[in-house]
Amino acid sequence: MTTPAPSSPASPLEQARPNGVVRALTDGWVVAKRNLIKIKRVPEVLVFVLISPIMFVLLFAFVFGGAIDPGGEVAYREFLIAGIFAQTVVFGATFTGAGLAEDMQKGIIDRFRSLPMSPAAVLVGRTTSDVVYNVLSLIIMALTGLAVGWRIREGVVDAILGFGLLLLFAYAVSWVMAWVGLMVPSVEVINNASFIVIMPLTFVSNAFVPLESFSGFLRTLVEWNPVSALTQASRELFGNIDPSIPAPDAWPQQNAEIYTLIWVAIILLVFVPLSVRQYRLSAGKA
Amino acid sequence: MTDMIRATGLVKRYKDVEALAGLDLDVPEGKVLALLGPNGAGKTTAVRVLTTLLKPDAGSAVVAGVDVLADPDGVRSRIGLSGQYAAVDEHLTGFENLEMVGRLYGMSRTAARARARELLERFDLAEAGDRPSKTYSGGMRRRLDLAGALVAAPPVLVLDEPTTGLDPRSRVGMWDVIRELVASGATLLLTTQYLEEADRLADDILVIDHGRAIARGTADQLKAQTGGERVEVVLAHPADRDRVRRLMAEVATGEIGVAENGRELTAAVDGGVGSLRRLLEGLERERVEVLDVGLRRPTLDDVFLTLTGHASEDAAADATTDPTAEVTR
């Protein structure tokens, strides 16, 4: 070991460190890899993450399948799957919050904080590795969907765009839950906290029932709910909407893709800085 | 000699507790300073401030020439911290843990991997290096954590209770490792509740209590402060306590200390063997049954008692239940 004079830079290896965004991304990737190794070592966690989407697809398809008629030529099961996609990836964000809340209680976070790494790295790493969970759950859901009668009726490119949009929106929401995860005192709280936010968000939407079945104030809420736009956009991109039925007469529904992207941008602009700030704050607490 | 760590007037308050109440400390380059104090004395708070994990409410600190408040990132790249609870990811292998830390210090993948292997070798973890650290023993985890603090070969090392919770054997092993680090020239700040540990590892000991330094010196200097020899009696029956206390008062020069378990009494004496003989005669006369009677040089436990007026919480337990005492004395 070397002992340089106090004023000299400590280790030559850290002198040329890039700053800001580049460092947040490179350090974030190192943390993401750490999270992914955990999936490999504790695959049991995956089982539950992947079983619940299957359960949702089957439950809704067979329980509500006959009771709800989305209208037109398209069967409910086909109408439903995009809604389940949207609901599941939004719910998946809870995982981000829980993962972070857990991290914050572990000794490893002291190691991270005492390192000259980007303060955003732990958050970038967590949200990035959770994309993998969402990719896996989308694959599982798509396969289950195909088995119960869901079809991709537009082109492959549109379908890929559809999955991309779902992942992007999920990524944004996971930053919201990251922020929540940093503020709650324990992992148990996060599950309940996210439930009260995400349940209404996904149920007061067109994910499970057609928008036409809502009326009055509730209908306006549903029309402007970003989850409705995400669902509408996915249905359009997968071709799960009867082309003879026009999109509902509301701007977010007419321009579902753009409206979803606007929400993604807003959420990221607000919650990335907010979460990083919260991470720094909790660093000064305990 | 320049100070590698210098803190002035550190204050940190939590709701109703003052964890640090104006702590000053300095560690010259290449030296080892032990912060010694009971649980809740403010040791860990001091460490967290000096390692940028916590902002003080008042005071300033400079570590390796860098101001802790002005340039925390600068400090982070010049220190290695090994905490009270091993900061390792249990799902990662020892190698993966160290590689990750290296990468986060900004090392290239090749450099981080080479350094990881080197440190695993050095800390006797080479064989276990590719097992998840979950499978490690407590001592192995601590060694891995310490290795993590050394990845970037920082000039300043901060070890927060490095042996708390370790079994005696691992503790002695840890001491050897720390001594080696010091021999290679690192500046070290170490916190401990084990008075013996401070005695063995540190050049200088800073005794802290209630967030404030109450004494500083080498182990010998601190021992000198309490002066004289002591007689120690271990009672067979706690009920005899008051009788023995009275007998001891006849030979004691100061107060008589009673350990928390109520069975051990100590008192400073100035008559050496003569005092011991008088006490033994008294015990014989009153037919008090004792397990042990002895005359000994003052230990740091006595220093703490003298300085603070209360025993360090672990001191009482240490003397009787800590098997390290047997291993290393």
Q: Greater confidence, A219 or B15? A: A219
pLDDT at residue A284 above 80?
no
pLDDT at residue B163 above 90?
no
Residues of chain B neighbouring A121 (CB-CB closer than 8 A):
104
pLDDT at residue A56 above 60?
yes
Looking at A52-61, A141-150, B151-160, which range is the least confident one?
Answer: A52-61
Q: Distance (Å) from the C-alpha of residue A191 to the closest C-alpha of chain B?
A: 23
Determine the average pLDDT of the residues in B143-164: 91
The CA-based angle A45-B86-B156, given to 5 degrees, is 135
Q: According to the model, what pLDDT value does residue B316 have? A: 41
Query: What share of chain B in percent tops pLDDT 90?
Result: 39
Sign of the CA dihedral running A215, A221, A225, A227 = negative
Report helix, strand or coil for B271: coil
Q: According to the model, what pLDDT value does residue A189 have? A: 86
Domain boundaries for CATH 3.40.50.300 within chain B: 3-222
Q: According to the model, what pLDDT value does residue B187 have? A: 94
Instruction: Report residue A110's pLDDT band, with 50, 70 and 90 as the boundaries.
Output: confident
* B186 to A3: CB separation less than 8 angstroms, yes or no: yes
Alpha helices in chain A (DSSP H): 20-41, 44-59, 76-105, 108-113, 121-148, 156-183, 187-203, 216-224, 226-238, 251-254, 256-283
pLDDT at residue A66 above 80?
no
Cα gap B100→A33, rounded to integer Å = 9
Determine the average pLDDT of the residues in B71-83: 90
Determine the average pLDDT of the residues in B30-56: 90
Please name the residue of chain A whose CA is at the shortest distance from the CA of residue B131: A41
Cα gap A63→A68, rounded to integer Å = 10
Best mean pLDDT range from A38-42, B102-106, B273-277:
B102-106
Any idea which fold B224-328 has?
Alpha-Beta Plaits (3.30.70)
Q: According to the model, what pLDDT value does residue A13 have? A: 44
Q: Average model confidence (pLDDT) for chain A?
A: 84
Alpha helices in A149-255 (DSSP H): 156-183, 187-203, 216-224, 226-238, 251-254
pLDDT tens digits for B176-203? 888 888 888 889 999 998 888 888 899 9
Q: According to the model, what pLDDT value does residue B29 have? A: 92
Half-sphere exposure (Cβ direction) of B155: Cα atoms closer than 13 Å: 26
Residues of chain B neighbouring A7 (CB-CB closer than 8 A):
65
Q: Name residue B187's beta-bridge partners.
A: B156
Q: Retrieve residue B103's tokens.
A: 């990468």
Domain boundaries for CATH 3.30.70.980 within chain B: 224-328
Strands B79-82 and B156-160: parallel
Q: According to the model, what pLDDT value does residue B103 have? A: 95
Q: According to the model, what pLDDT value does residue A265 have? A: 97
Q: According to the model, what pLDDT value does residue A19 have? A: 66
Q: According to the model, what pLDDT value does residue A259 have? A: 95
Torsion over CA of B48, B104, B89 and B82, rounded to 10 degrees?
Answer: -30
Residue tagged 């004792």 (tokens): B290
In this structure, CATH architecture of domain B3-222: 3-Layer(aba) Sandwich (3.40)
* A10 to B152: CB separation less than 8 angstroms, yes or no: yes
Q: According to the model, what pLDDT value does residue A184 have? A: 84
Strands B79-82 and B229-235: unpaired
Q: According to the model, what pLDDT value does residue A72 have? A: 64
Query: What share of chain A in percent tops pLDDT 90?
Result: 36
Q: Distance (Å) from the C-alpha of residue A8 to the closest C-alpha of chain B?
A: 8
pLDDT at residue A12 above 50?
no
Nearest residue to B212 (alpha-carbon basis) of B6, B12, B5: B12
Residues of chain A neighbouring B52 (CB-CB closer than 8 A):
113-114
Q: Average model confidence (pLDDT) for chain B?
A: 85
Looking at A14-18, B6-10, B46-50, B160-164, which range is the least confident one?
Answer: A14-18
Best mean pLDDT range from A271-285, B21-35, B234-248:
B21-35
Q: According to the model, what pLDDT value does residue B98 have? A: 96
Residues of chain A neighbouring B55 (CB-CB closer than 8 A):
284
Q: Greater confidence, A38 or B319? A: A38
Determine the average pLDDT of the residues in B232-238: 88
Q: Distance (Å) from the C-alpha of residue A15 to the closest C-alpha of chain B?
A: 9
Nearest Cβ partner for B111 among A13, A109, A285: A13
pLDDT tens digits for B290-317? 888 888 877 777 777 777 766 554 444 4
Query: What share of chain B in percent tops pLDDT 70?
Result: 92
pLDDT at residue B213 above 80?
yes
Q: Which of A17, A108, A122 best tests the B interface by mutation, with the highest count of B CBs <10 A?
A: A108
Report helix, strand or coil for A249: coil
Instruction: Specify the DSSP element, H or E, that contains B58.
Output: strand B58-63
Q: Is A51 on the interface with B (CB under 8 A)?
A: no
The interface pTM score, or ipTM, of the predicted complex is: 0.82
pLDDT at residue B22 above 60?
yes
Q: According to the model, what pLDDT value does residue B53 have? A: 87
Instruction: Report residue A208's pLDDT band, with 50, 70 and 90 as the boundaries.
Output: confident
Q: According to the model, what pLDDT value does residue B299 have? A: 74
* Residues 21-50 in A contacting B (C-alpha not used; CB under 8 Å): 27, 30-31, 33-34, 37-38, 41-42
Looking at B47-56, B148-157, B168-177, which range is the least confident one?
Answer: B168-177
Q: Which of A30, A114, A117, A126 best tests the B interface by mutation, with the highest count of B CBs <10 A?
A: A114
Q: According to the model, what pLDDT value does residue B227 have? A: 66
* B29 to A27: CB separation less than 8 angstroms, yes or no: no
Determine the straight-line distance between the first and last CA of chain A, rounded to whole angstroms.
31
Q: Distance (Å) from the C-alpha of residue A52 to the closest C-alpha of chain B?
A: 25
Q: According to the model, what pLDDT value does residue A17 have? A: 57
Q: Distance (Å) from the C-alpha of residue A284 to the closest C-alpha of chain B?
A: 4
pLDDT tens digits for B113-137? 999 999 999 888 999 999 999 999 8
Instruction: Report residue A14's pLDDT band, with 50, 70 and 90 as the boundaries.
Output: very low
pLDDT at residue B104 above 90?
yes
Q: Distance (Å) from the C-alpha of residue B91 to the closest C-alpha of chain A?
A: 6
* A11 to B152: CB separation less than 8 angstroms, yes or no: yes
* B91 to A116: CB separation less than 8 angstroms, yes or no: no
